[in-house]
Chains A and B, each alone.
Chain A
């Protein structure tokens, strides 16, 4: 079976279930306490049994300390199926003014946001999706840090959890994706590990709209495809989480 893309250091000692247990003791916020108490799946659990939740945020920028979350999309699923009826999408009011450029990216406008709640008001619902599930993201440096910073502001404490990163999996599968100058001269094209391009490699359809829910759904489908192509349903989760 393939080894963890980042080597042994990303299977930290203590294990995630042990960390959750410890963090549950320390957490002051009832929301976070409940999150950790819901527990983390056993590292040896086969992927086919793991309850997962694809997670995508639209944000006003890339820096969690300077920018804010504008919308969240959550898609609970398992390897065997994604129930569209259980998906959730929520526009939230960012703490900072919207940049014109970010409006162009995610299409959420000032009037959408004026009506939207603060993230604080939807945390209960958000955690009802996260508890007991392993989050799946495409590029782990957005959702985890943004959620951590947002909770630090609102609850006074951050959050830690493992994620499965479909982009890291693609990066691992294509280590030589950027051709050197010589290869470029010979016409070798770089392999893109962006969400849409990765999906294309697995015969997944093109989704036109660009919002947090569709991106989360797209990520969930991509993970299903990656597992079926490269790992198999019996792969233990510890081989894939980061």
Chain B
């Protein structure tokens, strides 16, 4: 070893198993070391890969996984890994990934074998799994969130418990008691293969059977829930959680193609990871007043930053933030109904814009509306719904969702109307479109029912899907609006910056990037008769109709993801620095990598706008900005 490398030897000499090693031996070890740097998130060792090194962490942190993908350990400075593979047959048994930027010293296998045979302390150390070491490492785990990286299949504890849907009430209850499950799957066994038909839960037995004193011989098919909400076996746990919260169900059958793999319950998720950031969401439902919600809402920016640091993609972050916003709204509606009494007629509370698209970030205002039952009589009912809308809107403002400057809120009487009026609005927008009016009603074409009679919102979605694709003039005007905002790219691919005002020398990633993209994707989606709201989902539907080429779709997807992620990171950085997050970016704050890829992404937006203009024959009008 070169004497000058004493720094490295001294570092290793602080940590077991090197701390007890004779100096000359340690010098020899250092002389054989190779140094390598891994960026946070990089896979260092893959399962089954050949490995001929023992790894020593000089700086950073590494996650060690089991073969199943389950987290096994988190280790840091001075820890070693790779030893189990070296002891077995030089293939990796525990995959490893850099959790932080990590510098490792790699010790060659020959040195490892030499140490193993000649240094008892070393051999003992690498052979035994030191429990206390493991425990101290796991205490650092709050940094990461397993919901983001673990699949729902991890929560399946047992094979699904099912019965034919011909069983009687009492028999179903008996099976559930015997098997100790809170939900029973009911199968249609008339065909060749049994098909999942419905589900019955403990709660159903309580509310539907016992309360109504049904006879024990009632066929279970009379009271089971049909039209099941299920989840793919490949989905992540956070998706399952959002799905349960979104649909207000507590059990989800997990499907592998047509086959049921098992059932997961909300309580499984809560039990699994009570420290998680998305635990915030379920916590929202335990708050009993606006004050409590406001307190929780202060954690939202942290949740956002944590997800960004965990390298979640923009779809995950957008749906998680929208899910959180939706949960605040739903809980406020529940609290409002408790305060004001049950609604006099059925209604549906709608989210609009980014929340409906599952593309929400932290900088956001509230866009919402109310659909009332057609039996609505203003003199009798409106006082209640105005009070409810005001309660929710004020509550949301308390929780950081600022009032909509365009007055697109359920507190505005124009946007608190019976279903038939809403149908009239949409029919008029689509069949007699006017450019100016459409510009303001754009946001209503991203809509999602989030509370009450969701069916009302579904009716509107169906109406839009049915009518929009047939109105060429509507599509043309909508396309023209989608061309109003151009990407900030000049001739010679330079960034075009805002010239005046507070945001001089910046460009706006939302106004010039994600918004034009979601606008143009919306036009194509409506032309295809799609009912999807999320931009990525809309692209999928557009792909099925062959309106765009596969390559163009891929480019649009990548461009949306890239611009969104740069925007998300920009906001996360601001939050971490204690600044107010915004969408205005200075080119010099971007890495050369980001700059170059952003230009590519904006070029995609620009090309897609050209195609839109051509496809819908939409010249930009005088009102272009």
Distance of A46 from chain B, by nearest CB (Å): 15
CB distance A230 to B35 under 8 Å?
A: no
CB distance B35 to A81 under 8 Å?
A: yes
Binding site for A on B (CB under 8 A): 1-8, 11, 30-40, 42, 58-60, 100-103, 105-106, 588, 591-593, 595-596
CB distance A205 to B103 under 8 Å?
A: yes
Which listed residue (A73, A205, A228, A231) contacts B59, Cβ 8 A? A205
Interface size on A, residues (CB 8 A): 39
Distance of B282 from chain A, by nearest CB (Å): 34
Which listed residue (A77, A84, A88, A225) contacts B8, Cβ 8 A? A84
A208 close to B (CB within 8 Å): yes
Which listed residue (B7, B32, B101) contacts A225, Cβ 8 A? B101
Q: How distant is the Cα of A217 from the Cα of B40 in the complex, in angstroms?
A: 21
Considering the complex of A and B, which 7 residue pairs feature the smallest CB-CB distances, nearest first?
A2-B592, A203-B101, A224-B37, A82-B35, A213-B4, A81-B34, A205-B59
A7 close to B (CB within 8 Å): no
What residues on B are CB-neighbors of A12 within 8 Å? none
Chain A, range 158-185, C-beta contacts under 8 Å to B: 172-173, 175-176
CB distance A228 to B6 under 8 Å?
A: no
CB distance A84 to B35 under 8 Å?
A: yes
- Do A204 and B59 contact each other (CB < 8 Å), given the known contacts A82-B36, A173-B591, A214-B7? yes
CB distance A2 to B593 under 8 Å?
A: yes
Chain A, range 215-231, C-beta contacts under 8 Å to B: 217, 220-221, 224-225, 228-231
Chain A, range 1-22, C-beta contacts under 8 Å to B: 1-3
CB distance B42 to A1 under 8 Å?
A: no
CB distance A221 to B35 under 8 Å?
A: yes
CB distance B7 to A207 under 8 Å?
A: yes
CB distance A81 to B106 under 8 Å?
A: yes
- Do A221 and B37 contact each other (CB < 8 Å), given the known contacts A173-B592, A203-B60, A204-B103? yes
CB<8 Å pairs between A and B, sample of 16: A2-B595, A81-B34, A82-B34, A82-B35, A82-B36, A84-B1, A84-B32, A87-B2, A88-B2, A89-B3, A173-B592, A203-B59, A205-B103, A212-B4, A217-B35, A231-B592
Which listed residue (B31, B39, B42) contacts A84, Cβ 8 A? B31
Distance of A48 from chain B, by nearest CB (Å): 12
- Do A85 and B37 contact each other (CB < 8 Å), given the known contacts A73-B4, A205-B59, A208-B7? no
What residues on B are CB-neighbors of A230 within 8 Å? 591-593
- Do A203 and B100 contact each other (CB < 8 Å), given the known contacts A81-B106, A213-B2, A230-B592? yes
Residue of B nearest to A82 (CB): B35
Residue of B nearest to A2 (CB): B592
Q: How distant is the Cα of A87 from the Cα of B2 in the complex, in angstroms?
A: 7
What residues on A are CB-neighbors of B8 within 8 Å? 84
Q: How distant is the Cα of A214 from the Cα of B8 in the complex, in angstroms?
A: 10
Which listed residue (A73, A85, A228) contacts B42, Cβ 8 A? A228
A88-B2, A204-B101, A225-B101 known, 18 other contacts, Cβ within 8 Å: A2-B595, A3-B592, A77-B35, A81-B35, A81-B106, A84-B2, A84-B33, A85-B31, A87-B4, A203-B59, A203-B60, A205-B11, A213-B2, A217-B5, A224-B37, A228-B37, A228-B42, A230-B593
Q: How distant is the Cα of A221 from the Cα of B103 in the complex, in angstroms?
A: 8
